[in-house]
Chain A
């Protein structure tokens, strides 16, 4: 309740003549400044509101021989205490009581604009409405009937197109008439819900005598009930403690009064627009709406999503595949040959380290860079045109149909990027069991790194069926997740659901520069990872596969691998392949690098995609990929699981659960494909 300049009594005398006080109110971007400029012309003064950095514009001008003082109030959506602009606008009207408030509203966005009108009607000054942007509204198919709106609200409504100076002077004439004669009828004001009217009266009765002038007691009581922080704090300061304690007690009993008070305003908007808003958005269907009719449809949306995924992977293989073969043969292969020739007279270990360890591991992975670049490009394109939000939306519907829904969905969806933020995102889930279960399920969402490994190996192992294998194996962990989740939903998530509301961004033309920068950033980050973590693991794997006798079959790694061979045998995997899956614990991409090192992709200068198929059957290849997709997430994710659950018990439990799941998935796949060959 600040003082906004000296109080201006109604129809004041200035140098012997009457000057009328008018305030101009409206939401931002409704053409209020245009109206102000048209009315005041050059007679305007620009300064700041006292004690604020908010611009204050006012002007004195003459109309039909009358002098008028016009103040342009800051543009606000409502009159809460959420911003300095809102407090300035409401305090000015309460304290200065202008003779009339001219409210500019946007006809194209009538309902939202009427919220401010609903709030202004509770203040002491009469109002007149300027229904601006009638031309824009008409173009957008929104037809507003000013007479019906005026009759419904009970205040004059003047249609205008301020940008073309149409109707502005009629607006002023109507305002002057109201200033002199008052409103023709009592306006229709919003009412609060019936079950809160007695509380409002009780608060008004308690606070009435303590409300400082010139604030209206009924408005102050309404604001206190609504939970307005500024008015509540002010009233608490001036009200005797015993009275305030009774007010607080009433407020505690009606904690959801906002729904009753603000809800009354929305009900009022619905009521007054019922006859006045004649045809909303007639025949005006935007491109986004047309596309969304398919992309967010419960059934067709899933078909579109499957088609989009198929196109992403299809394009990745069709364009990236031949490029990958070229890079493999002419760059990585040539480098390996050149290095072998250069180091042939040097120590054996050095040539082994460079050719088998570094080029075999990191080099092999780098040869897949074209495939990753295309994958990143297609995903970047989908992001940029605005499709990804639709994918999230339609996936939730799918999950909902399977029984897994609620708060767990959003964190799980994050897992498609990376499992780490997915697990951190579970903080939005209040219930401890639900949060824990979501954390434990999150690694079943294939992260981008896991998808990249799948993309690369599916191409190497099943060049003819890469697309089918990739799409099926992307869906597999999600189906496992849905199965486990649906089971858990019945027992753990029960009753713990919370809605999400998503704004679907408008579809727009792709910005190739943005997409290009995105691809570049991801490739650089991928190369950085290849040059650090993957390089280190490749060198360690090479060392363990060489020591102590220089032969892979008698190496330390072979000893470990052979120990695990019985487990691998059930999945049709030999020890090298089991070791490759194990090393993906450090970083998913290591699965590829390790296969490169252990199958000597660098030494033989033969591409991994050429070497690999001879070491896998269809059954063992599929089993390998299934196990890889279900296996323990990377070490960074496990560390975050420990951090977020606060216990190693859960982190280790997760490792055991997913290792078992990978083993079972791999074994079942191998045995089934062996029995019924594809």
Chain B
């Protein structure tokens, strides 16, 4: 991936449809975690990624077990969108 810019390298890595840990992803791309966050926010603003954290709250306002929900644990989660998937494939 030497000739790819870090943004392309990130998208290429996401093309395999796995779940990534922010820290490990930053290490794999050899960049600072804070810079990776900036890249993720930029890709989110452009529609390549979508922030999904907190989504479960809408369905379980009255649920006794809502605190068990994985998506309300404090960590942010991004999902690759269809646009992101197409860009990652290229």
Contacts and interface: CB of A to CB of B under 8 A. Distances in A.
B23 A421 contact: no
A115 B35 contact: yes
Interface in B63-87: 63-71, 73-82, 84-85, 87
B54 to A, nearest CB: 11
A503 B8 contact: no
B32 A417 contact: no
Contacts of B31: 111, 266, 270
B76 to A, nearest CB: 4
Interface string A564-588: 0000000000000000000000000
11 contacts: A112-B37, A263-B7, A264-B5, A386-B73, A405-B19, A417-B67, A417-B69, A499-B88, A500-B18, A502-B19, A503-B22
Q: Considering residues A280, A292, A388, A505, which has the most beta carbons from chain B within 10 angstroms of its beta carbon? A: A388
Interface stretch (A335-343, A407-415, A480-488, A619-627): A407-415
Interface string B1-41: 00001111001011111111111110000111011011110
B6 to A, nearest CB: 4
Interface in A247-271: 256, 258-259, 262-264, 266-267, 269-270
Which interface residue of B24, B25, B30 has the most chain A CB atoms within 10 A? B24
A392 interface: yes
B20 A504 contact: no
Interface residues of A, number: 73
Contacts of B6: 263, 266-267, 269-270
Contacts of A296: 21, 24
Instruction: Output the residue of A78, A502, A528 with the most chain B CB within 10 A.
Output: A502
Contacts of B65: 417-418, 447-449, 522, 525
Nearest to B58: A424
Contacts of A388: 70, 73
Contacts of A410: 19, 52, 70-71, 77, 79
A406 interface: yes
Interface of A: 77-78, 80, 82, 109-112, 115, 193, 227, 256, 258-259, 262-264, 266-267, 269-270, 280, 289, 292, 296, 379-380, 383, 386, 388-389, 391-393, 396-397, 400, 405-407, 409-410, 413-414, 416-418, 420-421, 424-425, 428, 430, 447-449, 497-505, 518, 521-522, 525-526, 528-529, 640
Given A112-B37, A428-B52, A502-B75, 4 more contacts: A267-B5, A269-B6, A428-B55, A500-B18
B31 to A, nearest CB: 6
Contact of B74 (A78, A386, A416): A386
Interface size class of B (residues with CB under 8 A): 35 or more
A417 B13 CA distance: 30
Contacts of A267: 5-6
B7 A259 contact: yes
A259 B70 contact: no
Task: For the complex of A and B, list the 10 residue pairs with the smallest distance between their C-beta atoms, beginning with the closest.
Answer: A497-B17, A525-B64, A263-B5, A263-B7, A417-B68, A421-B56, A499-B14, A421-B59, A112-B34, A396-B19
B85 A498 contact: yes
Nearest to B42: A262
Contact of B70 (A269, A280, A400, A416): A416
Contact of A448 (B16, B45, B68, B78): B68
Contacts of A193: 5
A283 B87 CA distance: 37
Contacts of B37: 112
Interface of B: 5-8, 11, 13-25, 30-32, 34-35, 37-40, 42, 45-46, 49-50, 52, 55-56, 58-60, 62-71, 73-82, 84-85, 87-88, 90
A499 B20 contact: yes
B18 A499 contact: yes
A425 B56 contact: yes
A271 to B, nearest CB: 10
Contacts of A264: 5
A529 B46 CA distance: 44
* Residue from B37, B62, B71 with most neighbouring chain A CB atoms (10 Å): B71
Contacts of B32: 109-112, 280
Nearest to B25: A501
A499 B79 contact: yes
Contacts of A529: 64
Contacts of A497: 16-18
Contacts of A407: 17, 79
Given A259-B87, A499-B19, A505 B68 contact: no
B43 to A, nearest CB: 8
Contacts of B82: 430
B77 A396 contact: no
Contacts of A270: 6, 30-31
B75 A503 contact: yes
Given A80-B45, A266-B39, A267-B5, A504 B19 contact: no
B79 A500 contact: yes
Nearest to A112: B34
Nearest to A430: B82
Contacts of A389: 70, 73-75
A586 to B, nearest CB: 16
A262 B35 contact: no
Given A499-B20, A500-B78, A420 B59 contact: yes
A379 B69 CA distance: 11
Nearest to A447: B65
B77 to A, nearest CB: 5
Nearest to B4: A263
A409 B40 CA distance: 21
B20 A500 contact: yes
A397 B20 CA distance: 10
Contact of A501 (B67, B77, B81): B77
Contacts of B40: 501
Given A267-B6, A425-B55, A500-B78, A400 B23 contact: no
B80 to A, nearest CB: 4
Contacts of B75: 386, 389, 502-505
